[in-house]
Amino acid sequence: PRLHTLLAKNNRLGGPGSLPKGLGQAPLGRSLRVLNLSGNRFAEVPPALLGLRGLQSLSLGGNRLHGIPPDIQELRSLEFLYLGGNFITSIPPELANLPSLNYLVLCDNKIQSIPPQLAQLHSLRSLSLHNNLLTYLPREIINLVHLEELSLRGNPLVVRFVRDLTYNPPSLQELAGRTIKTRNVPYAPSDLPENLVRYLSLASNCPNPKCGGVYFDSCVRQIKFVDFCGKYRLPLMHYLCSPECSSPCSSASQSSTSQSESDSEDEASVAARRMQKVLLG
């Protein structure tokens, strides 16, 4: 009745009835904090455990999961979720409804995309995505302000960005928005549809101090990649307001990553500009 930690890894659990149906009921439902079912044969997250409201740590690493049930959001107290080494192909947006999630491991799966809603996991500090099938990351991922660690190796990711997004001019909406902002064209909320008013309010100033431009879909963020030893910061992306901003903008991040900027200089200038235009499509 006061069971706190249950470790049942490396067994042959996975068939129907592997876990007792009443697992989620009181008192176990409220006392269990840590559950480790890694190295078993579960083909789906056993529904019985979704009632464990007090569960803080769940590991289902090294099983045979093909997906994550949306009802995972029922595990309201979850802080640590390890799902590495399965066959998961996609992530339900409901995963983002876990308010206390700090540590999310999804490495060694078959994930093709990350839902943008994942950016709502404000408490997320570590995200492991290495060895998946990701070709891009959602732009919103930069909203994870508390993210300290992110592993992305072994995804067909970075090179794809650079090649496909070389020539991606701003949309007409963006160009119009930039003109309105830089020329101070007056407008009132009653003049425009609500969505455009909101869009215009999202304008940001180009970090390049020599450039007075604004942009709408951009950011300069630095997130640590755990693939590197020690403390190491690598810009996740650069986003510029115009091609003319390429070199000065790189100096904006030079304060924290001097070495990576010298790498950019070593590259052919065209490739350097491409890297700086990495978009999260």
Is residue 18 part of the contact set for other proteins (CB under 8 A)? no
Which window, 93-101, 137-145, 147-155, 240-248, contacts other proteins (CB under 8 A)? 147-155
Q: How far apart are CA 123 and CA 68, in angstroms?
A: 20
> Which of 172, 229, 255, 270 lies at the binding interface for other proteins (CB under 8 A)?
229
H/E segment holding residue 34:
strand 34-36
226 in contact with other proteins (CB under 8 A): yes
Instruction: Please select the residue that binds other proteins; options are 58, 81, 98, 105, rule is CB under 8 A.
Output: 105
Q: Shortest Cβ distance from residue 121 to other proteins (Å)? A: 15
Number of amino acids touching other proteins (CB under 8 A)? 39
Instruction: Report the alpha-carbon distance of residue 224 to residue 126 in Å, rounded.
Output: 10
Among the listed residues 24, 46, 51, 84, the single contact to other proteins using CB under 8 A:
84
Are the C-beta atoms of residues 244 and 226 closer than 8 Å to each other? no
Q: Is 14 in the site for other proteins (CB under 8 A)?
A: no
Task: Say which DSSP state 40 is in.
Answer: S
Among 153, 197, 205, 244, binds other proteins (CB under 8 A): 153
Residue 262 zone, left/alpha/beta (φ > 0; ψ -120 to 50; rest): alpha
Instruction: Compare residues 126 and 208 and give the one whose CB is closer to other proteins.
Output: 126
**Toward other proteins, which CB reaches closer, 200 or 278?**
278
Q: Which of 149, 197, 211, 242 binds other proteins (CB under 8 A)?
A: 149
The answer to whether 103 contacts other proteins (rule: CB under 8 A) is: yes
Binding residue for other proteins (CB under 8 A) from 61, 177, 207, 213?
61
Distance in angstroms (rounded) separating the CA atoms of residues 70 and 92: 6
DSSP labels for 84-149?
-SS------GGGGG-TT--EEE--SS------GGGGG-TT--EEE--SS--S---GGGGG-TT--E
213, 186, 216: which is closest to 201 by C-alpha? 216
Q: Which is nearer to other proteins, 120 or 257 (CB)?
A: 257
H/E stretch holding 175: helix 172-182
Contacts with other proteins, residue ranges (CB under 8 A): 9-10, 38-39, 59, 61-62, 82, 84-85, 103, 105, 107-108, 125-126, 128, 130, 148-149, 151, 153, 158-159, 225-232, 234, 257, 259-260, 263, 266-267
